[in-house]
Chains A and B, each alone.
Chain A
Amino acid sequence: MKKTNDPIISVSHFAMRFGNTEVIKDLNFEVYRGETFGFLGSNGSGKTTTIRSLLGIYQPTGGDLLINGKKYTVDGDIKLGYLPEERGLYKKESVVDIMTYFGQLKGMSKSDARQKSLDFLKRVDLLDKAKTRLDKLSGGQQQKIQLGITVMNDPELLILDEPTKGFDPVNRRLLMEIIEEHQAKGATVVMITHQMEEVERLCDRILLLKDGTSRAYGTIDEVRKQFGGKSLDDIFIDVYSHAEEEHTNA
Chain B
Amino acid sequence: MHNLSTVIRFEIVRALKKKSFWILAISFPLMFAAIFGIIFLSNKATDDAAEKLKEQSFSIAITDESTLLKPEMIAATKAQSIKAQDKQSTIDRVKNGQLDAYIYYPKNLDAQPIEVYGKDVGPFENGRYESIAKSLLSTSVQTGVSPAIKKVIEGKVSSTNTIYRDGKVHDSIKEAILPGIFLLLFYFLISFFGSQMLTSTTEEKENRVIEMILTTIKARTLIVGKIISLIILAIIQGLLVVMPALIGYLIFHDQLKLPSFDLSSLPVDPVRIGIGFLVFAASFMLFTGLLVAIGAAVPTAKEAGSFFGIIMILLFGPLYAITLFVSSPDTAIVKFLSLFPLTSPIPLMMRNAIGNLGIGEAILGIAILVVSAVIVMAIGIRIFRFGALEYSRKLGLKEVFVRK
Contact = CB atoms under 8 A, between A and B. Distances in A.
**A and B: bona fide binding partners:** yes
Interface of A: 52, 55-59, 72, 74-75, 80, 82, 84, 86-93, 97, 101-102, 104-107, 146, 149-150
Nearest to A82: B215
B243 interface: no
A102 B216 CA distance: 8
Contacts of A93: 14
Contact of A92 (B13, B14, B212, B218): B14
26 contacts: A52-B389, A55-B215, A56-B214, A57-B211, A57-B214, A59-B403, A74-B214, A74-B215, A74-B218, A82-B211, A82-B215, A87-B208, A88-B208, A89-B207, A89-B209, A90-B203, A91-B207, A97-B13, A97-B14, A101-B6, A102-B212, A102-B216, A105-B3, A105-B6, A105-B7, A105-B217
A52 B214 CA distance: 10
Contacts of B207: 88-91
A59 B399 CA distance: 12
- The SS class assigned to the A binding surface is loop
Contacts, number: 68
B14 A84 contact: no
B10 interface: yes
Given A84-B211, A88-B209, A93-B14, A57 B216 contact: no
Nearest 4 pairs between A and B by C-beta? A88-B208, A84-B211, A88-B207, A104-B6
Contacts of A52: 211, 389
Which of A59, A74, A87, A89 has the largest number of chain B CB atoms within 10 A? Answer: A74
B214 A149 contact: no
B2 interface: yes
Contacts of A84: 211-212, 215
B301 to A, nearest CB: 13
B391 interface: yes
Nearest to A135: B207
Interface of B: 2-3, 6-7, 10, 13-14, 18, 203, 207-209, 211-218, 388-389, 391, 403-404
A55 B215 CA distance: 7
Contact of B391 (A86, A90, A107): A86
B211 A105 contact: no
Contact of A75 (B6, B211, B218, B403): B218
B215 A149 contact: no
A48 to B, nearest CB: 10
A74 B207 CA distance: 21
A89 B213 CA distance: 10
Contacts of B14: 90, 92-93, 97
B389 A106 contact: no
Nearest to A87: B208
Given A57-B388, A92-B14, A105-B6, A86 B216 contact: no
Contact of B215 (A59, A80, A104, A146): A80
Contacts of A59: 403-404
A88 B218 CA distance: 19
A143 to B, nearest CB: 12
B212 A57 contact: no
Given A59-B404, A89-B209, A93-B14, A74 B389 contact: no
Contacts of B389: 52, 57-58, 86
A57 B215 contact: yes
B385 to A, nearest CB: 8
A134 to B, nearest CB: 9
B6 to A, nearest CB: 5
A173 B217 CA distance: 31
A53 to B, nearest CB: 12
Nearest to B218: A74
Given A57-B389, A74-B216, A86 B211 contact: yes
Contacts of B18: 92
B102 to A, nearest CB: 71
A82 B221 CA distance: 19
Q: Which of B214, B215, B388 has most A Cβ within 10 Å?
A: B215
A80 B216 CA distance: 8
Nearest to A153: B216
Contacts of A89: 207, 209, 212
Contacts of B208: 86-88
A168 to B, nearest CB: 21
A80 B217 CA distance: 12
Nearest to A75: B218
Given A56-B215, A80-B215, A102-B216, 16 more contacts: A57-B388, A57-B389, A59-B403, A84-B211, A84-B215, A87-B208, A88-B208, A90-B14, A97-B10, A101-B6, A101-B10, A104-B6, A105-B3, A105-B6, A105-B7, A105-B216
